[in-house]
Amino acid sequence: MVRAPCCEKMGLKRGPWTTEEDKILVSHIEKNGHGNWRALPKQAGLLRCGKSCRLRWINYLRPDIKRGNFSREEEETIINLHEMLGNRWSAIAAKLPGRTDNEIKNVWHTHLKKKLKQNQAKTQIILQSTTCDSNSPRQSESSDLDILPSHQAYASMSPQPSSSDFSSVTDASVTLNNMSHIKVDDMDFSESFPEFDESIWSEPPLVETTSNMPLDLLAVSTDDQSQAQSQFNPIERVDLGDNYDSILDDDMDFWYNLFIRAGGSTELSEF
């Protein structure tokens, strides 16, 4: 049995707010504040429940609400905070002045989660393509590195990494010299990526490889891009050529630049 919504039960209005209702609510709160949300609609002459009034005020009418699209900085902050706090939207919102938990939640579900998944998939394709041996069947469908989200690497790094900060990625760990040692087994991505569609791995890889080599991975935020690039010896950057375009699109540029330095003598031709 489904409980009838309180507003409906009370004969109160539901659905989108009209500008007239907004004016009444704002005017009332400016004059009297909002000490008691339940009593407020009656006092203000609104046919809404207190909960609805509170939500409208908190998420839309409050004077300090920031309007417009989220900046990249804000989006990166959300991603980083979500990684630390999980779905605690109000806690995340507290770190972003003018943004509401509802807004952040919406942005996460409609933009950021999708982008992270895409980037995770692309990073995985690159990693698998460079680590699997073409002479043998494709390796395990779900190696530990499969679940390494690129932003994990970013979040664990210093702001201005240099190439010497990285050693090889082998097995299931990423070692960042003088920094943290990430062991993928110890990570719990279930919260950050609770419903990742594993079927993506059944798709054929975008690129083929003939080597089975370790590789260094560096993911940096857009803000750090120019500095990081300037610190990299060009020869250390793998130019993926046409394949690069097929693997990395604007989203990748937007969130991360992925530099892969193949170990040993790996050249472009490996791709």
Partner DNA sequence: AATTTGCACAACCGCACCGCC
Partner DNA sequence: GGGCGGTGCGGTTGTGCAAAT
39 binds DNA (CB under 7 A): yes
110 binds DNA (CB under 7 A): yes
55 binds DNA (CB under 7 A): yes
For the beta sheet containing 215-220, the strands, ordered from the edge strand earlier in sequence to the opposite edge, are 181-183, 173-176, 166-170, 215-220, 257-262
Closest distance of CB 87 from DNA, Å:
4
Q: In this structure, are residues 87 and 109 in contact, taking their beta carbons and an 8 Å threshold?
A: no
56 binds DNA (CB under 7 A): yes
Q: In this structure, are residues 174 and 153 in contact, taking their beta carbons and an 8 Å threshold?
A: yes
Q: Residue 190 region, left (φ>0) first, then alpha (ψ -120 to 50), else beta?
A: alpha
Closest CA relative to residue 56, chosen from 48, 64, 44: 48
Closest distance of CB 136 from DNA, Å:
37
Q: Which of 105, 115, 117, 237 binds DNA (CB under 7 A)?
A: 105
2 binds DNA (CB under 7 A): yes
11 binds DNA (CB under 7 A): no
52 binds DNA (CB under 7 A): yes
33 binds DNA (CB under 7 A): no
Closest distance of CB 249 from DNA, Å:
15
Q: Which stretch binds DNA (CB under 7 A): 54-62, 168-176, 221-229, 259-267?
A: 54-62
CA–CA–CA angle 206, 212, 215 (5° rounding): 85
Q: Which stretch binds DNA (CB under 7 A): 55-63, 146-154, 203-211, 212-220?
A: 55-63
Q: How far is CA 185 from CA 33, 35, 181, in A?
A: 51, 49, 12
Which residue in this structure is represented by tokens 């010299």? Answer: 177
241 binds DNA (CB under 7 A): no
Q: How far is CA 39 from CA 23, 100, 131, 178, in A?
A: 18, 24, 64, 59
Separation CA 229–CA 244 (nearest Å):
17
Site for DNA in 68-97 (CB under 7 A): 69, 87-91
5 binds DNA (CB under 7 A): yes
101 binds DNA (CB under 7 A): yes
Q: In this structure, are residues 177 and 166 in contact, taking their beta carbons and an 8 Å threshold?
A: yes
139 binds DNA (CB under 7 A): no
115 binds DNA (CB under 7 A): no
Q: Which of 26, 47, 60, 144 binds DNA (CB under 7 A)?
A: 60
Half-sphere exposure of 34 (CA within 13 A, CB side): 20
Separation CA 141–CA 233 (nearest Å):
34
Q: Which residues bind DNA (CB under 7 A)?
A: 2-3, 5-8, 14-17, 34-39, 48, 50-52, 54-56, 58-60, 69, 87-91, 101-103, 105-107, 109-111, 114
